[in-house]
Amino acid sequence: MATQFAYRTALVTGASRGIGAAICRRLTGLGMTVYGVARSREALDGVVDELGVVPVVADVRDADAIVAGLAGAEIDVLVNNAGMVATVKPLYEQSAEEIAETIAVNLTAPMLLMRALLSGMVARRRGHVVNITTTAARGVLAGTSAYGGAKAGLSHACRSLRYDLAGSNVRITDLAPGRVETEIYLRAFGGDRGKLHDTMYGNVRALQPQDIAETIAAVLSLPQHVDVTEIEISPTDQAVGGHVFKSVQG
């Protein structure tokens, strides 16, 4: 017997492109009303026009502005997708501002947004939080101390929240991808898309944003008594924590 899909509304941060846009596409395909967060209305035009995503224009670090943008909507699914890599270099070569921004976006922002939305989910006994972390939170990638440390903190918060949420019917999933072909490293490459592609993705079979979206859809669709608490999803050709991919035969 098919299980009735439990959720009606979702909030996706970093919704304008890449993984976030793919998640919006998949969740609207499930019949959900999706609220998408990005810093500008123009950035959201694509998912608004194509998918009917409800735009929430706010910096992901401003949980109060995001909640205000929901205008009282009851959120069943929160996908903390927004993330950033300020730079890829040793910690002692990063500026204090780069480190602080990395922690604010990748750890503090999702924690505050969970704080804002979980009480409603618990009261309604209906909800699911998906935090997109990274294999860099579990393995070692050179030059990612701040990024990996922030994501590791979020991953551990997921484990602690399992105790807070047990018995509430609210589920939480820590989804840790390996290398995904997105623009998350674009800033670290000085905005050079060609160099980013050639260095990170040109000769490997990287994960695609839709792979992450399909994984989330599968987790959300499971029966309510099933909580997939941690998932590590990686390219077939990548070992956790490593840059080096084995040569791929055509």
Cα distances (angstroms) measured from residue 65 to each of 20, 39, 41, 70, 206: 19, 11, 14, 9, 34
Cα distances (angstroms) measured from residue 96 to each of 91, 154, 191: 9, 20, 21
The separation between the first and the last C-alpha atoms of the chain, rounded to the nearest angstrom, is: 41
Which token pair is 192?
A: 């050079």
Q: Which of 92, 147, 163, 185 is catalytic?
A: 147
Instruction: Specify whether 7 is catalytic.
Output: no
Crossing angle between the packed helical segments 96-103 and 145-165, to the nearest 10 degrees:
20
Please answer whether residues 14 and 83 qualify as being in contact, where contact means their C-beta atoms are separated by less than 8 angstroms: yes
What residues are annotated to the active site? 147
